[in-house]
């Protein structure tokens, strides 16, 4: 069986992959995550997932038996990608913009080996309840939004903001488990090992 490498430093992705019983090693290679001009959010997340996986595959000494999983998540409001906040003001503005609105969360998962590559993009819709300025500031003070796309983590304290969700919860967290399991099966890597 092929050795699986996870091209991500995300603790959430590690937890999700562990949840479905797949052994893996973690290896990260930094890549440029700047969106390209005119690039759609779906194209953006798929490009980054593939690039992360390809970058890791390129540095592995034994590529023959390796499969690399790359993933990327983007929070999208009105067609605009909301990245990780640059500072407090950015996070507060992002959370205020998400208040009482629906937004999309797009997560791509890509698997790459020496001989093949495959990817899937999953779109979920999340609706936030109306948020007060006090709630937004209190959430920022917890520290949780600092390293999260869209300035929130659905699996954490911000779960209380979510009034509705359609799609894949695990994809919103950072890795669509159903689609990941399907891709792993295509590469002869079973779940529940």
Instruction: Tell me the pLDDT tens digit for each residue of 33-57.
Output: 999 999 999 999 999 999 999 999 9
State which residues form the domain around 78.
Answer: 3-187
**Residue 72 among the catalytic residues:** yes
Give the pLDDT score at 116: 95
The span from the CA of 22 to the CA of 142, in Å, is 32
Q: Is residue 30 part of a domain?
A: yes
The answer to whether residues 79 and 43 touch, using CB atoms and an 8 Å cutoff, is no
20 exposure class (CB count in 10 Å sphere: 0-12, 13-18, 19+): middle
Q: Is residue 192 part of a domain?
A: no
Q: Is residue 107 part of a domain?
A: yes
The answer to whether residues 110 and 117 touch, using CB atoms and an 8 Å cutoff, is yes
Count of alpha carbons within 13 angstroms of residue 136, beta-carbon side: 21
Question: Tens digit of pLDDT per residue, the chain (193 long)?
Answer: 789 999 999 999 999 999 999 999 999 999 999 999 999 999 999 999 999 999 999 999 877 789 999 999 999 999 999 999 999 999 999 999 999 999 999 999 999 999 999 999 999 999 999 999 999 999 999 999 998 999 999 999 999 999 999 999 999 999 999 999 999 999 999 999 9
The DSSP H or E segment spanning 56 is helix 41-59
Active-site position among 32, 64, 72, 147: 72
Q: Is residue 175 part of a domain?
A: yes
Give the pLDDT score at 42: 98
Number of domains, the chain: 1
Q: Is residue 8 part of a domain?
A: yes
Q: Residue 47 corresponds to which tokens in the numbers above?
A: 């490009």
The CATH number assigned to the domain holding 147 equals: 3.90.950.10
Q: What is the pLDDT of residues 179-190, one digit of tens each?
A: 999 999 999 999
pTM: 0.94
The DSSP letter of residue 80 is E
Q: Is residue 193 part of a domain?
A: no
Strands 3-6 and 25-26: parallel
Q: Is 18 helix (H, G, I), strand (E, B) or coil?
A: helix
- Helix ranges restricted to H, 69-187: 88-98, 133-141, 169-173, 177-186
The span from the CA of 190 to the CA of 22, in Å, is 7
């Amino acid at each position: 069986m092929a050795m699986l490498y996870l091209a991500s430093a995300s603790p959430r992705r590690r937890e999700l992959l562990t949840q479905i019983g797949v052994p893996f090693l973690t290896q990260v290679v930094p890549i440029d995550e700047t969106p390209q001009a005119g690039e759609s959010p779906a194209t953006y997340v798929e490009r980054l997932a593939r690039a992360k996986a390809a970058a890791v595959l390129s540095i592995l000494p034994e590529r023959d038996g390796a499969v690399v999983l790359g993933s990327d998540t983007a929070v999208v409001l009105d067609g605009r990608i909301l990245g990780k906040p640059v500072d407090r003001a950015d996070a507060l503005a992002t959370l205020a913009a998400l208040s009482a609105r629906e937004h999309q969360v797009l997560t791509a998962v890509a698997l790459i080996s020496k001989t093949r590559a495959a990817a899937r993009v999953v779109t979920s819709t999340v609706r936030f309840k109306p948020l007060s300025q006090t709630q937004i500031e209190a959430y920022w003070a917890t520290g949780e939004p600092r390293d999260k796309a869209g300035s929130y983590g659905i699996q954490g304290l911000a779960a209380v903001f979510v009034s509705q969700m359609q799609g894949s919860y695990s994809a919103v967290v950072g890795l669509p488990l159903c689609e990941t399991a399907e891709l792993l099966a295509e590469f002869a890597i079973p779940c529940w090992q």
